[in-house]
Structure 1
Amino acid sequence: MAMQKFLLTGTGGQGLILAAIMLAEAGIYAGQNVAQSQSYGPEARGGASRAEVIIGDEDIYYPKVERPDFVLTLSQEAYKKYGLHLDEEAILIVDDTQVTEVKPRSKNFYSLPITKAVRAHFGSEQSANVLALGVVASISGYLSMDNVLQSVKHRAPKGTTEQNIKALEIGWKMGLKARENQNNKHSQNEGDES
């Protein structure tokens, strides 16, 4: 795939802007062209936030994501705003801890316990953004773990590097497992149709 477009959505304070910056920087480490932008709702913390990342080996002529390939939603509000209007081919990843009312239109739908996993491992929701980054990056299959890890080490706030590395590893494994389960499900469905 020559280019992938990511939309990371949630509420202000969840750290999705930082996760998007890490994703974009991982693309740079991979030698790709990258564009990254973000916007907050008027409330900033607690209001809607969205961050966009485009990574590819082609020139990027427009830095905004109009038709995302991947959408991550970490809040019910963000899901309603961005997750309901996707192309059928888009990959939708929701945090099932925060997003409980879902009517997926996409056949590529992942509902994963992102916040729950972070709480279980670290006792708080800090690093949920990096765990989510690991999920998104591993499901996309476009960047290597090494590129994302390099970015997390560079961008993690002082004193949080070890926890964020662990969160990335947990998210990466969660994403790989989810992708494998999805591929097996698609294979079974194709087998049932023949």
Structure 2
Amino acid sequence: MIPPHTLPARIIISGLGGQGVILAGCILGRAAALYERTAATLTRSFGPAARGSACSAQLILDDTLVHYPYVDKPQVLLALSQQAFEQYAPLLVPGGVLIIDEHLVKPPAALSGISLYAVPATRYAEVLGNRQVANSIVVGFFVAVTGLFARASVERALRESVPPGTMGLNLKAFSCGYSHAIKMYGEHHTFSGRFEGKARAVQGNKQFKNA
């Protein structure tokens, strides 16, 4: 069960059509609602084209009924494209968490009060033989970095959500992202408490401030 002191949690996953952004949101939403016993809402937006246009999934988790399902000020942003970063990073709350695919997103050298975590999701997916599982790598990375979900809950939701015949590869990708986070940043969880409008340093991450 998601610890009540970490709620509400407001999350945006954004990238381009074809990256599995919506599927990633569905996996996390399913894990929260069915296996973490947490109220969850998921809203999705698509560009005019199925592939290559902007898309996003907005997820809100709370221990009570969510009355407004849209995320205006995310605490966590998963940006899988440069366009997604540029659109949503300015909306992050002070002390917010930014997770990027380091080969697809190049943030500026100075970010104020944001904790940045980078994962080579696309490169790992290529090593696994299918770029389509980069989203599962990012989901695993997110689970380890934030500590919001029990690993088993998300793995169960993933098994029930991915296309037939891809479960084994997606679980391997999830584990790859999870292990990378532990290797690079340890087991420190960014959601050890509520966000209170100020940046909080997290051991092992990159904390940027304006020069």
Q: d(CA) in 1 for partners of 2:171 and 2:157?
A: 10
Partner of 2:197: none
Partner of 2:126: 119
* CA contact 1:86–1:105 (8 Å) conserved in 2: no
Matched, 1:148 2:154: yes
Q: d(CA) in 2 for partners of 1:78 and 1:63?
A: 20
* CA contact 2:184–2:204 (8 Å) conserved in 1: no
Structure 1, 97-106 or 75-84: larger mean CA deviation: 97-106
**1:124 Cα deviation from its structure 2 partner:** 2.7
Q: d(CA) in 2 for partners of 1:138 and 1:183?
A: 13
Partner of 2:37: 31
Structure 1, 124-133 or 144-153: larger mean CA deviation: 124-133
In terms of fraction of residues, the more helix-rich structure is 1
Structure 1, 38-47 or 10-19: larger mean CA deviation: 38-47
**1:185 Cα deviation from its structure 2 partner:** 4.2
Matched, 1:174 2:180: yes
5 Å-filtered alignment, 1:2-21, equals: 2-21=7-26
Structure 2 vs 1, CA of residues 2 and 132 (structure 1 numbering), >3 Å: closer, same or farther?
A: same
In the TM superposition, structure 1's runs of 4+ consecutive aligned residues that sit over 4 Å from their partners are none
Q: d(CA) in 1 for partners of 2:27 and 2:126?
A: 22
Paired AA for residue 105 in structure 1: S
Paired AA for residue 126 in structure 2: R
**1:69 Cα deviation from its structure 2 partner:** 1.0
Q: d(CA) in 1 for partners of 2:91 and 2:73?
A: 10
Q: d(CA) in 1 for partners of 2:76 and 2:203?
A: 20
5 Å-filtered alignment, 1:103-114, equals: 103=109, 104-114=111-121
The one of 55, 59, 71 aligned to 2:77: 71
Structure 1, 168-177 or 148-157: larger mean CA deviation: 168-177
Q: How many residues align?
A: 185
Structure 2 vs 1, CA of residues 85 and 6 (structure 1 numbering), >3 Å: closer, same or farther?
A: closer
* CA contact 2:74–2:91 (8 Å) conserved in 1: no
Q: d(CA) in 1 for partners of 2:43 and 2:106?
A: 28
Structure 2 vs 1, CA of residues 164 and 118 (structure 1 numbering), >3 Å: closer, same or farther?
A: same
Q: Which structure would you say has the larger RCO, counting Cα contacts within 8 Å and 6 or more residues apart?
A: 2
Q: Deviations over 1:157-187 (max 9, x none)?
A: 000000001111111122333443873347x
Q: d(CA) in 2 for partners of 1:89 and 1:31?
A: 26
Q: Deviations over 1:25-48 (max 9, x none)?
A: 010211111100110122231011
Paired AA for residue 68 in structure 2: Y
Structure 2 vs 1, CA of residues 23 and 44 (structure 1 numbering), >3 Å: closer, same or farther?
A: same
Paired AA for residue 184 in structure 1: Q
CA RMSD of aligned residues (A): 1.8
Matched, 1:128 2:147: no
Q: d(CA) in 1 for partners of 2:154 and 2:122?
A: 20
Partner secondary structure for residue 116 of structure 2? strand
Stretches of structure 1 lacking an aligned partner (at least 5 in a row): 187-194
Partner of 1:189: none
The one of 20, 27, 35 aligned to 1:22: 27
Q: d(CA) in 2 for partners of 1:48 and 1:102?
A: 21
